[in-house]
Amino acid sequence: MENLKALSFELRKNVIDMIVEGKGGHIGGDMSVMDALVTLYFSQMNIRPENQEDEDRDRFVMSKGHSVESLYAVLAKKGFFPMEEVIANFSKFGSKYIGHPNNKLPGIEMNSGSLGHGLPVCVGMALAGKMNHRNYRVYTIMGDGELAEGSVWEGAMAASHYKLDNLCAVVDRNRLQISGNTENVMSHDSQIERWSSFGWHVINVENGNDIDALNQAFEEAKKTKNQPSVIIANTIKGFGSSVMENKANWHHKVPTQEEYTQIMKDLEARREAYLHE
């Protein structure tokens, strides 16, 4: 199996190139969520270009649609479209690679961008799986700031009501949003209690940037019956370079030339380190 930890840093470099080329992108959240995406697409889900029409494929909805650059990098690596094409065209005039997921592109199930939609949509997908006696699983990744949307909790309520154990949500708990620390904007601590009280099986992953830990969490979710699972992935926003890590102003920022050089150097160093692990 490919060295996924090294891969996650290679893909982060692709994301940085995308954002620099497209002159914009949600860079901080891209970096925090990358490991969950890599784990899902390269370890967990049975989804690839060859089976994208298969009724038994696993389903994924990027609820935090603004981290589309990470999703593009992962989907390109999976072979859904060429990486060079995304990097060259991201966000440019007339491009099909727009700043939020669009299902006119292969590999993308649903359009998102407006927060609080992914989980309820996945409830529908999981419900269809139960109705049709299909074995596919349904995954979504939400941001932690997104949890202030009331529609998330409408979906959470329905998922446990219908005992959707084929549904697994991930919260990219990077603790930062546009206005600053999530706890100052709208507090989200007590995640475990909140989701538990809605009838969910909660899996807290201390290091949400650790692919091994994430894989274990997804395996635990698969074994959980009669209730949906949520993985609270405690991540670092901007993970991979000290230039960006834990800095709220890197929510949406284009690196300067100097910053770009440093970020790429940092990411490459980590990639190299994992390659020889």
Residue 138: phi and psi, rounded to 5, are: -120, 130
Q: Is-contact 270 209, C-beta < 8 A? A: no
Q: How far is the CB of 116 from another protein (least distance, A)?
A: 8
Residue among 19 and 110 whose Cβ is closer to another protein: 110
Residue among 117 and 201 whose Cβ is closer to another protein: 117
Helices 4-22 and 211-223 meet at what angle, rounded to 10?
110
Note the maximum CA span of the chain. Answer: 54
Q: How far is the CB of 157 from another protein (least distance, A)?
A: 7
Q: How far is the CB of 268 from another protein (least distance, A)?
A: 37
Return contacts of 254-259, CB within 8 angstroms, 24+ apart.
254/19, 254/20, 254/23, 254/24, 254/25, 254/27, 255/16, 255/19, 255/20, 255/27
Q: How far is the CB of 208 from another protein (least distance, A)?
A: 25
Q: How far is the CB of 128 from another protein (least distance, A)?
A: 3
Q: How far is the CB of 262 from another protein (least distance, A)?
A: 37
What residue ranges bind another protein (CB under 8 A)? 55, 59, 103, 109-114, 116-117, 120-129, 131-132, 150-151, 154-155, 157-158, 161
Residue among 82 and 106 whose Cβ is closer to another protein: 106
Q: How far is residue 209's CA from residue 229's CA, in Å, rounded to a whole number? A: 19
Residue among 132 and 197 whose Cβ is closer to another protein: 132
Give, in order, the Cα–Cα distances in Å from 48 to each of 15, 56, 75, 136, 190. 20, 12, 9, 14, 36
Helices 4-22 and 257-275 meet at what angle, rounded to 10?
170
Please identify which residue in the block is written with the tokens 């060429």: 82
Q: In this structure, which amino acid lies at residue 28? A: G
Residue among 1 and 131 whose Cβ is closer to another protein: 131
The alpha carbon of 121 is separated from its chain's Cα centroid by a whole number of angstroms, namely: 16
Residue among 195 and 250 whose Cβ is closer to another protein: 195
